[in-house]
A and B are shown apart, each in its own frame.
Chain A
Amino acid sequence: MAEVKKIATRESYGATLVELGRLDDKIVVMDADLAGSTKSGMFGKEFPDRFFNCGIAEQNMIGVAAGFATMGLKPFVSTFAMFAVCRPYEQIRNSIGYPHLNVKICASHGGVSVGADGASHQCCEDFALMRTIPGMLVMCPSDDVEARQMVKAAYEYNGPVYIRFARSATPVYHDENYKFEVGKGEIVSDGGDVAIIANGIVLPEVVKAAEILKAEGISARVINMGTIKPIDKDLVIDSAKVCGKIITVEEHTVIGGLGEAVCSVLAENYPAPVKRLGINDVYGYSGEANELMAAFGLCADGISAAAREFVNGK
């Protein structure tokens, strides 16, 4: 693979917020003392009057965002995924989800690629928790190009949205012609032996895994499922029809996230064997991002090995 540009999707978020902020003075941004890390601080620097650091008080931050939304403002709320979702889950459920308020929860530092901070900061439960909230869009971009479009799509949707961005810089594999659409998956490359459905920064590794498999004579359809809820039902069913077997790959617990969303679609519509790759009901630990991704099998070698076994019926 040629050297490609690497950008952390949290950077894409910060830059897009600034861009949107110039167009719409109803946008307000909040953070809980992590504005430098989540990149919401980029907005704060340009629009200090519309930026509210809430201090280390995430539950209140969610409620304040709800209050802003009732006034017709368009709040974007950021902190690490652990503290944006897990800690104030009930506040999101009751103060944002239930009244269906126009609040965008844009978390950075999802998954184990958070790295050295260890398990306390590696949120692998955010997709599962946010999927349970009626009316909530749940999305996770796979690179900079998709992340920027996703932020704009979230802005255009009138209702609650959750997006997870990543801490680490990862390859930008989409070109500028890519068009993200809420609720639509993207066939990155097509194949007929197995479909690999993934999202987030693991996508470039899935693409590499598909190349490894191709060299061995296994043809994989690679799908980038940027929207976890609502999931692209048609594409999941079509992939089961075309490929027979499905593998899901996510930097998230295998419980309740992308993998189980895919399983639900198939169980109710077109039963097919599924192998879920992700964090297997365990906690992460400290290490470098790439070391951890490899340790949890979320790398080209791990994914291709799992696919090889699955396709060969082991």
Chain B
Amino acid sequence: MTNEDRKALALFAVTVREDIVKSTTAAGSGHPGGSLSAAEYLTYLYEKEMRVDPKNPRDPNRDRFVLSKGHAAPALYAVLAREGFFPVEDLIRLRKIDSHLQGHPNMNSTPGVDMSTGSLGQGISAAAGMAAGAKLLKNGANVYCLNGDGEIAEGEVWEAMMFAAHYRLDNLCVAVDVNGLQIDGKTSDVMNSEPLDKKFEAFGARVTKIDGHDFDEIERALNFFHANIGSGQPTVILLKTVKGKGVSFMENAVGWHGKTAKPAECEQALAELETARKKILEA
């Protein structure tokens, strides 16, 4: 990755974070914390990794993305809008009565959304079905899924992993946004899911653990996925992330799962993100 690439991706992620803060504040509800933690991964997927075309969002041979942690919809919407799937102006209408941007992703209302999600644990099963379908159809599609680390307490996640290993779905790349927090507190306190690497390995996946905010590491992890294609094993990327990343008062704070910034807090958050943007430009 060139310095320029790195810079462009970092700037894109800052814009995504601004969109997340602005849209959730305008909505007065939504999930900024777990959206902010996923900003780099989603940015990289749509900027560098996936074969998708905003002008032909239903191309049958496209790669698929499933946001199994559907509450991070503000992050997905921001990325899709910035990629040109729909107008950026729509973002401010998040969760409004006449908006296509539902509180959780709806594949039939929002261009670029490949699966309706929101009820945790279900997206990964659909992703496994897509991966098995792509193999059957031999259309070369890869399927990317993003789960939360609280979400994986759902038994269905492990049913899906068993299915993916059994049917040798090496075209399936499951990432887990390991931000360590969920609604009621630290994931380690609410329902400890560690050691995640050992669990996913035991379920037949090839696992890599990375810093989920570092684009070079994300690139390496996705190269690891591509190297696994042909192995018959699904890939799992454990993204070590910070919930609320990029907004000082939201970082690693339990309360910001489903709470949105008030207008004054939003101003502060946007000022911080503007500073981050300047730093990137000056670097």
A52 x B116 contact (CB < 8 A): no
Tell yes or no: A198 within 8 A of B by CB. no
**Shortest beta-carbon distance, A42 to chain B, in Å?**
19
A54 CB contacts on chain B under 8 angstroms: 159, 163
Tell yes or no: A290 within 8 A of B by CB. no
A52 x B162 contact (CB < 8 A): no
Q: What 0/1 readout, one digit per residue, does chain A (26-63) give for beta carbons within 8 Å of chain B? A: 00100000000000000000000110101101011111
**Shortest beta-carbon distance, B117 to chain A, in Å?**
8
A100 to B107, CA, bound (A): 10
B116 x A71 contact (CB < 8 A): no
A71 CB contacts on chain B under 8 angstroms: 60, 129-130, 133-134, 137, 141
Give the residue name and chain of the A residue nearest to B139 (CB): A71
A50 to B135, CA, bound (A): 11
Tally of chain B residues near chain A (CB < 8 A): 35
**Shortest beta-carbon distance, B121 to chain A, in Å?**
8
Give the residue name and chain of the B residue nearest to A103 (CB): B129
Give the residue name and chain of the A residue nearest to B156 (CB): A59
A28 to B141, CA, bound (A): 18
A67 CB contacts on chain B under 8 angstroms: 115, 125-133
A70 x B160 contact (CB < 8 A): no
Tell yes or no: B122 within 8 A of A by CB. yes
A59 x B155 contact (CB < 8 A): yes
Given contacts A91-B122, A94-B118, contact A68 B133 (CB under 8 A): yes
B125 x A66 contact (CB < 8 A): yes
Interface residues of B in 123-163 (CB under 8 A from A): 123-134, 136-137, 141, 155-156, 159-160, 162-163
Tell yes or no: B114 within 8 A of A by CB. yes
B123 CB contacts on chain A under 8 angstroms: 63
A52 to B130, CA, bound (A): 13
Given contacts A60-B128, A67-B130, contact A99 B107 (CB under 8 A): yes
Give the residue name and chain of the B residue nearest to A90 (CB): B119
B132 x A68 contact (CB < 8 A): yes
A54 to B128, CA, bound (A): 11
Give the residue name and chain of the B residue nearest to A73 (CB): B133
**Shortest beta-carbon distance, A50 to chain B, in Å?**
7
A98 CB contacts on chain B under 8 angstroms: 106, 116
Tell yes or no: B85 within 8 A of A by CB. no
Tally of chain A residues near chain B (CB < 8 A): 30
Interface residues of B in 167-206 (CB under 8 A from A): 167
Tell me the dominant secondary structure on chain B's binding face.
helix
A72 x B60 contact (CB < 8 A): yes
A60 to B132, CA, bound (A): 13
A49 to B168, CA, bound (A): 13
Given contacts A67-B128, A99-B108, contact A57 B163 (CB under 8 A): yes
Q: What 0/1 readout, one digit per residue, does chain A (124-143) give for beta carbons within 8 Å of chain B? A: 00000000000000000000
A75 CB contacts on chain B under 8 angstroms: 129
Partner of A94, one of B122, B124, B133: B122
B163 CB contacts on chain A under 8 angstroms: 54-55, 57, 60, 64
Interface residues of A in 87-103 (CB under 8 A from B): 90-91, 94-95, 98-100
A61 to B136, CA, bound (A): 17
B155 CB contacts on chain A under 8 angstroms: 59
**Shortest beta-carbon distance, A56 to chain B, in Å?**
9
Given contacts A57-B162, A59-B155, contact A70 B132 (CB under 8 A): no
A75 to B64, CA, bound (A): 19
Tell yes or no: A274 within 8 A of B by CB. no
A60 x B136 contact (CB < 8 A): no
Partner of B119, one of A28, A61, A94, A100: A94
Partner of A66, one of B60, B129, B131: B129
**Shortest beta-carbon distance, B148 to chain A, in Å?**
16
**Shortest beta-carbon distance, A225 to chain B, in Å?**
31
Tell yes or no: A105 within 8 A of B by CB. no
Given contacts A70-B107, A99-B115, contact A60 B125 (CB under 8 A): yes
B129 x A65 contact (CB < 8 A): yes
B136 x A70 contact (CB < 8 A): no
A60 CB contacts on chain B under 8 angstroms: 125, 128, 156, 159-160, 162-163
A70 x B159 contact (CB < 8 A): no
User: Which 9 pairs show the lowest CB-CB distances between chains A and B?
Assistant: A67-B129, A63-B125, A71-B133, A60-B159, A64-B129, A57-B159, A67-B126, A67-B130, A99-B116
Interface residues of B (CB under 8 A from A): 60, 64, 106-108, 114-116, 118-119, 121-134, 136-137, 141, 155-156, 159-160, 162-163, 166-167
CB<8 Å pairs between A and B, sample of 9: A55-B159, A59-B122, A60-B163, A68-B132, A70-B133, A71-B133, A71-B134, A90-B119, A95-B116
